[in-house]
Structure 1
């Protein structure tokens, strides 16, 4: 048994990150949102290939910001996948709209186009939030065609998708706007934080007002529209810039970790992996097993922490009164486990985890 606990996820903060923050703090800087936030936005939009980027305090408020920018009516409905982080749904509620849950596909666990097409015909459906779960594209292009057919907005929740591309286009460039997250578990982190990317100048201008109290400029009280204090901070931006400079190595390491697990565990018939395409980057390494709880307990006894994938959102009473059976969501949620996925994992760590999993199935 290893002497130290292997966490399911932890941030990777490098000496370069620390030096960047120390250098910044030693200068006479403003700390709040200023020129480095603008630089981070510019660098991020360049990385994703988007025309515009706007930094927000977190990935829940990015989704809220996008929904607010669309000027939807109060009784609007927004369709979201039934397996996603709860913030996808609560952002819809926070905006004053009603979430409708669509089942996911077996192959990717992203929103099922067939189920979407059934639900999109409901009265007052105005938008779809498509989650590229765990960095997988799923059937994003098919979803886009459905949204275009019914003249509804496509919003991307790309929280897991830094470093993932579909046909050489980075996730986040397929709908009206996209939400990215920089919370602690993400490939790059600013502690908390998020970014909206969009190719619409109109949406970009609305987002800039929404995040700054409805003011066109900071430092005055000339209010053009309703807005809020959703500003970022330069100290976070300094960390984000530093980590974004290392994004190629971070993406490469995530792919290495998935491929290493897959190589040594794929022969165990009781473990099911979902595929990643060459230009998709795993966020967490997910496996699907029938005896999840026993495997979790075995790994925990050996100082290895894991995490269940998200529960089906339509089963949460505070989100929905409907109890529609969405069988794929339930089945994969019951079986889904995220293995340790930190960028800090060494080959020694990975070998130990893999051997513990093999030991469980051999016994």
Structure 2
């Protein structure tokens, strides 16, 4: 059968490219690294859910799996409307299009994946980067407030590494005070909570990603969640070329719909969300216990009022030089690492086209010089975490 085939592809991990293979369980092992930075979880239930869609030979798009996935996300986020699309980037873009941000300023962190500012630009807005907090790596309310002008339309806080933005309530209050929308980029944090309220429930809308490396993955995919009927209707129309529920083309749009095949993977994965989160908490705790003895390593902490889903496991080193030395050491021992994030404002496009330069966001730049992401996924066992940690300890 098709899912039992073996084939080779190229995969980039860290700073090098590696040959990898996919087997019948859809897991992969690299030829250059002993461990993988990320892995997508699969089992027979997930494989069978995909086969059922394929074997019915119809409705590979717009099948019942779409609504099933949307309902599962609604249950987790406590939102009335959930709209599935083909990527987290599409979720951001479609939401911003629904809000109408042409030529308006949107305040967001630079400490994020390029998808966040790129979606603003794609929707015709002007990205205004604000600095982050030293401890949480999420938007600083004070710096956001200093960036608000008459041209500001909204704020996009980014929930980082499986937590909720530390000052999300203050950001919500600030947005309400100035008549701005609040759009949560919650790509990392499905299932996380802040004082009992779920990620995705704080803003006018929120977006989640189901990319291959996320806690819940559909391979590629994403959702928009909101209680706002106008936003929900506009996003639903936008994902199918501007077509409304009466099949009339009432606006412009694009094909951003998620397929039933991808949704089937998501439905099966969502049934394991709590299991995934619990395992990630266990693995994170193992890393914490073994790395706290190293004085030169700073381990970011979760605020006491939050429950993280631990999407990434990060450590902070004294400086960029020490980080690179550690990365090289781990590379030699088959352990991949990555840097999330370097700061969007210092990439070629945003520095050249929008005039940003080093020094504009000092806290962001300080964190970007120190942070390092270690291998982290539910397919790692306790011994894997111990081996990786021991190698880090031995370096110091």
Q: TM-score range by the shorter chain?
A: over 0.9
Indicate the residue corresponding to 1:332 in structure 2.
367
Structure 1 residue 225 corresponds to structure 2 residue 251: yes
| Aligned residue in 1 for 2:204 | 176
Q: Distance in 2 between matches of 1:17 and 1:356?
A: 34
Are 1:201 and 2:201 matched, yes or no? Answer: no
Quote how far apart the aligned CAs of 1:3 are: 9.4
**Partners in 2 of 1:3 and 1:240 — Cα distance?**
30
Matching residue of 2:37: 8
Q: Greater relative contact order (Cα 8 A, min sep 6): structure 1 or 2?
A: 1
Q: Does 1:79 align with 2:79?
A: no
SS for the counterpart of 2:47 is: helix
Instruction: Return the TM-score normalized by structure 2.
Output: 0.87
CA RMSD of aligned residues (A): 1.5
Residue 309 of structure 1 is matched in structure 2 by 340
For 2:374 and 2:40, locate their aligned partners in 1 and report how far apart those are by CA, in whole Å: 15
Alpha-carbon contact 1:84-1:131 (below 8 Å) kept: yes
Instruction: Judge conservation of contact 1:276–1:282 (CA < 8 Å) in 2.
Output: no
How far apart, in 2, do the equivalents of 1:6 and 1:169 lie? 35
Take 2:253 and 2:32, find their aligned partners in 1: how far apart are those partners? 51
Normalized against structure 1, the TM-score is what? 0.95
Partner of 2:393: 358
Which one of the candidate residues 383, 386, 389 is aligned to 1:348?
Answer: 383
CA shift digits 1:297-348 (9 cap, x unpaired):
1111110001012111211231231325211101110110000011110111
Q: Deviations over 1:232-261 (max 9, x none)?
A: 110111100000000111011111111110
Question: For 1:134, what is the secondary structure of its paired residue?
Answer: coil
> Unmatched 5+ residue regions in structure 1?
none
Q: Which residue of 2 aligns with 1:65?
A: 94
CA–CA distance in structure 2, aligned partners of residues 76 and 266 of structure 1: 45
After superposing the two structures, state which structure 1 stretch, 174-183 or 17-26, moved more.
17-26
Q: Write out aligned runs for 1:243-262 (5 A).
A: 243-262=269-288
Select 1:141's aligned residue among 169, 175, 178. 169
Corresponding position of 1:167: 195
Q: 2:349 aligns with which of 290, 299, 318?
A: 318
Selected match of 2:313 from 285, 290, 302: 285
- The count of corresponding residues between Structure 1 and Structure 2 is 356
Q: Retained in 2: the 8 A contact 1:7–1:306?
A: no
CA distance in 1, matches of 2:69, 2:138: 29
Of 138, 141, 159, 1:132 maps to 159
Separation in structure 2 between the aligned mates of residue 71 and residue 93 of structure 1, nearest angstrom: 12
Partner of 2:297: 271
C-alpha distance in structure 2 between counterparts of 1:258 and 1:59, whole Å? 25
1:179 match: secondary structure? strand
The answer (yes or no) to whether the contact 1:20–1:242 under 8 Å persists in 2 is yes
Per-residue deviation at 1:4? 5.8
Tell me, yes or no, if the aligned pair for 1:131 and 1:157 is still in contact at 8 Å: yes
Task: Spell out structure 1 runs of 4+ moving beyond 4 A.
Answer: none
Contact preservation (8 Å) 2:137, 2:160: yes
Which of 235, 239, 248 is matched with 2:261 structurally? 235
Q: Secondary structure at the match of 1:136?
A: coil
1:17 to 39, 42, 46: 46
Within the alignment, does 1:112 sit opposite 2:140 as a pair? yes
Deviation digits for residues 207-227 of structure 1, max 9, x if unmatched?
A: 111111111148x5x211122
Secondary structure of the residue aligned to 1:80 is strand
- Alignment partner of 1:192 is 2:220: yes
Q: Is the 8 A contact 2:290 2:386 kept in 1?
A: no
